[in-house]
Structure 1
Amino acid sequence: MNYFTIFASRNDMDDIDGFIMELFAKGHTIKKNGNDYTVQTNSLFNKRKMTIRVSHESTNPAYFETNIPGMIGFYDRIPFADENRKELVLTQISVLNALIAVEAEKALGDEQLRQCMALLSAVGGIGFMQDGTLLDDDGQVIVYPDGASGPANFRPRACTGKVMGPERPSEEGERRKRASIDYIHGRGIPYLDSLPPLPPLAECQWKSQEEIARRAVALLIVIQYACDAAQGGDLAESRDFVLSTLRKFGVEDELTGNERHLLEAEEPSPQEAVNIAWQYEAYWPLIWALRLTDTLDFPDRTCDCNYAIEVVSKCDSFGEFYRSTALRSREEILNEADKIYRLHWACVNSRIHGQEAPAGMNESVVMERRRGLFWMAGCDREDWDHIPMDT
């Protein structure tokens, strides 16, 4: 294999140069010409050379206008074994706007492949193999050319520029960003100053109090089934209980595609079950926004699952639950969304460099809390299953 391509969704490419220079610093000579890099090993024997070409939609729009629709068509024609995974792949491709193309003079060796995978992880993109195999940013296969699913726990990622349009700086957004950075810096956590602010309050697509309450109840109920599926419980009994409880609260229509897929599968995927079980942490900011818990604690531990269940289980109907809620201000919600966005960057940055998340944070808690907060504020205008997790 002489070619390896990384696609990503990024607001800019400012940090790519640093990634390349760092990854190939030892044992290589690097020559840069604009956005092209020639990387050659320094060994006397078995010399290897490859070219890395970096481009972005803003600098090479013609490429993306031509090739992204073609890429969507290619994967749309593949007979995916998992239709949900196909939807995720097509969603990801639709927001791609960055390209890192690696071309080697000889077939890529083991060490060069390792370096390509490290670059893929640093960029947070998807890897495209010559035969059409797609890789997640951890090097795990998303889908094979025949449509079979790989082991990757894949979630699409989209930069703010693709989902919200070109960045429009606002004084409000900058104030919120500075407040978040002050909080993060005060805890000794690294931050990226160039990470853009979230949009101002007036530009978000806010969910109503009732929408948040219905999402919370439906999610909590289906999480119980996900926990049973992940732990190998009696799924027939669990499914009957969950379906009857959804009907009791009148929230059957609030289930997402992923949740329906889990409930309807004859043999639910353990990984899908675990993914939804983790959404206790996305449910928690929903009930915080509904004033059913007082604070959103620092994300270094999991939420109180017993209390999470109790706030719904003590009610006999959705109406009773809804009457117990009161919505926090939009400003409070967006402040927390901005903060968790920057804490997520700190987690990802540490993971890329092989370090533990700073200040004891749990990255899974951070990601799911971000899902709940971004969904309520409508920061990226995506549905619950497809909240982008770019940083």
Structure 2
Amino acid sequence: MNHFTIFASKNDVDDIQDKIAEVFAKGFTIERGDSGYLVKSKGLFKKSRCSITVLFEDTNPDYFTQNIPGMMGYYDRIPFQDEDLKEQVMIQISVFNTVIAIEMDKEITENHMQLFTRLLASIGGVGFLPDGTLLDQSGSVIVYSNGESGPANFRPQACARKIRSQEVTSEQGETRKNRTIAFLTDKEIPYATSLPQLPPLEGCRFKSQEEIAKRAVSLLIVIQFACDVAQNGNIEESREFFTNMLRTYEVQESLTEHEKFFLETQHPSPQDAVNISWQYEAYWTLIWALGLVEELDFPDDVCDCEYAIQVVSRCETFEQFYKQTVLRSKEEILDEADKIYRLHWACVDSRINGQVAPLSLNESVVMERRRGLFWMMGYQDEEWDTISMDT
């Protein structure tokens, strides 16, 4: 074994460098690198070195988006001896926002483990061994890899920011969650019972019919510009044409700041163009909510782009477009949001485990549908471009 990882839930990591320096003060030299620290023993004999990488959710969001769902899935599948302990472990994993990954150049000795446990105690996190065993901050075993309980008297700890964002449970949310799980079970799609409920209706800030309609029209127009950019079209002509379209439909103010920048910049990024083009799938949820799409089919294929364009292009003004819309109920929108949320978990879980997504789920389609649905329900007041994709 030459790896030891500390997971924690902290408001900041400003003191971590000092804690590393304190633990390795005697007999070691510490070099600061771009991605962390290199710790070398000073002795002439039995020399060792280890790299310590520190990751924080605010600065390394991709790591947490890609790895925490997999960690939750891993422990969800372990047959815990104590179901209450399993729930506590799952809660703790869900609030991790700091990782300190230690890699030795040789096998970890008992002396090394003592040092690593001291670092664990000073940071106040959970220790993770390569076989899946978890340690509390004192070094006592919380749970072994086979699900057997250890001697630690474990209770999860979370930083203030994570506590504020924790799940609000309700009978309505549980009913909705169970309904989605029944759908997934029927289709033999894996799911995580630990994945939280979505808020009840009264806990959401739903967008109005007019807000959704204006967002749909403005998004479709900027998508068309993005498609031209991605296909190496005449950018200036395209920019002028679609800017005039925005004025015609009077929806300029419904663009996001990122979209405004993309539309106005002299040399739009090709990658941004591709990313925005994918938002056809988010747009599809908007026109579904407006009653212009009969149902959201299973997300294993892309939407009907030709029809998606026609629902707007056949209208000469925004008012004409708006008059043909009928907003679906908040319950319908929330039901679909819950479904896509849990389908997203299935996509991430299969990807992390090197498996094909169940029933050919298209993760890109799922993510963009989630963007649209979560935006409409006003999930945590997140903006369009920053909808959280955590699972």
Q: Could you state the TM-score of these two structures normalised by the residue count of structure 2?
A: 0.65
Secondary structure of 1:293's partner? coil
CA RMSD of aligned residues (A): 2.7
Q: Indicate if the aligned counterparts of 2:222 and 2:259 stay in contact, CA closer than 8 A.
A: yes
Alignment partner of 2:14 out of 57, 67, 81: 67
Note the C-alpha offset of 1:165.
2.6
Q: Indicate if the aligned counterparts of 1:217 and 1:312 stay in contact, CA closer than 8 A.
A: yes
Q: Indicate if the aligned counterparts of 2:201 and 2:331 stay in contact, CA closer than 8 A.
A: yes
Q: Deviations over 1:46-74 (max 9, x none)?
A: xxx333112124xxxxxx24639x9xxxx
Q: Does residue 336 of the first structure (1) align with residue 336 of the second (2)?
A: yes
Alpha-carbon distance between aligned partners in 2 of 1:194 and 1:281, rounded to the nearest angstrom? 27
With over 3 angstroms needed to count, the CA separation of the structure-2 counterparts of 1:355 and 1:257, relative to structure 1, is: same
Alignment partner of 2:9 out of 47, 50, 56: 56
Q: Does residue 248 of the first structure (1) align with residue 248 of the second (2)?
A: yes
Note the C-alpha offset of 1:100.
1.9
Letter in 1 for 2:386: H
Letter in 1 for 2:14: N
The aligned counterpart of 1:268 is 268
Q: What runs of 5+ residues in structure 2 fail to find an aligned partner?
A: 18-56, 66-94, 108-127, 129-160
Letter in 2 for 1:98: N
Note the C-alpha offset of 1:99.
1.7
Q: Does residue 280 of the first structure (1) align with residue 280 of the second (2)?
A: yes
Alpha-carbon distance between aligned partners in 1 of 2:301 and 2:343, rounded to the nearest angstrom? 14
Q: Indicate if the aligned counterparts of 1:225 and 1:242 stay in contact, CA closer than 8 A.
A: yes
The aligned counterpart of 1:134 is none
Q: Deviations over 1:162-194 (max 9, x none)?
A: 597332210000000000011111111100111
Note the C-alpha offset of 1:97.
4.8
Q: Indicate if the aligned counterparts of 1:229 and 1:270 stay in contact, CA closer than 8 A.
A: yes
Alpha-carbon distance between aligned partners in 1 of 2:60 and 2:243, rounded to the nearest angstrom? 29
Alpha-carbon distance between aligned partners in 2 of 1:237 and 1:209, rounded to the nearest angstrom? 32
With over 3 angstroms needed to count, the CA separation of the structure-2 counterparts of 1:91 and 1:322, relative to structure 1, is: farther
Alpha-carbon distance between aligned partners in 2 of 1:163 and 1:319, rounded to the nearest angstrom? 44
Secondary structure of 1:287's partner? helix
Letter in 2 for 1:102: A
Alignment of 1:177-326 (within 5 A): 177-326=177-326
Alignment of 1:326-365 (within 5 A): 326-365=326-365
Q: Indicate if the aligned counterparts of 1:227 and 1:273 stay in contact, CA closer than 8 A.
A: yes
Q: Indicate if the aligned counterparts of 2:198 and 2:338 stay in contact, CA closer than 8 A.
A: yes
Q: Deviations over 1:64-117 (max 9, x none)?
A: 24639x9xxxxxxxxxxxxxxxxx977959x98522211234499xxxxxxxxx
Letter in 2 for 1:53: I
Alpha-carbon distance between aligned partners in 1 of 2:60 and 2:354, rounded to the nearest angstrom? 29
Q: Deviations over 1:232-269 (max 9, x none)?
A: 11111111111000000001111112211211222111
With over 3 angstroms needed to count, the CA separation of the structure-2 counterparts of 1:276 and 1:164, relative to structure 1, is: farther
The aligned counterpart of 1:73 is none
Q: Deviations over 1:190-248 (max 9, x none)?
A: 00111011000001011000000000000000000000111111111111111000000
The aligned counterpart of 1:75 is none
With over 3 angstroms needed to count, the CA separation of the structure-2 counterparts of 1:294 and 1:249, relative to structure 1, is: same
Secondary structure of 1:268's partner? coil
The aligned counterpart of 2:170 is 170
Q: Could you state the TM-score of these two structures normalised by the residue count of structure 1?
A: 0.65
With over 3 angstroms needed to count, the CA separation of the structure-2 counterparts of 1:91 and 1:256, relative to structure 1, is: farther
Alpha-carbon distance between aligned partners in 2 of 1:51 and 1:364, rounded to the nearest angstrom? 33
Q: Indicate if the aligned counterparts of 1:380 and 1:388 stay in contact, CA closer than 8 A.
A: no
Letter in 2 for 1:67: D
Q: Percent identity over the alignment?
A: 54
Larger gyration radius, structure 1 or structure 2? 2
| Number of equivalenced pairs | 269
Secondary structure of 1:380's partner? helix
Alpha-carbon distance between aligned partners in 2 of 1:324 and 1:107, rounded to the nearest angstrom? 68
The aligned counterpart of 2:97 is 98
With over 3 angstroms needed to count, the CA separation of the structure-2 counterparts of 1:193 and 1:101, relative to structure 1, is: same
With over 3 angstroms needed to count, the CA separation of the structure-2 counterparts of 1:163 and 1:281, relative to structure 1, is: farther
Moved more, 164-173 or 183-192: 164-173
Letter in 2 for 1:368: E
Letter in 1 for 2:5: I
Q: Indicate if the aligned counterparts of 1:218 and 1:252 stay in contact, CA closer than 8 A.
A: yes
Alpha-carbon distance between aligned partners in 2 of 1:347 and 1:66, rounded to the nearest angstrom? 31
Q: Indicate if the aligned counterparts of 2:7 and 2:96 stay in contact, CA closer than 8 A.
A: no
Secondary structure of 2:268's partner? coil
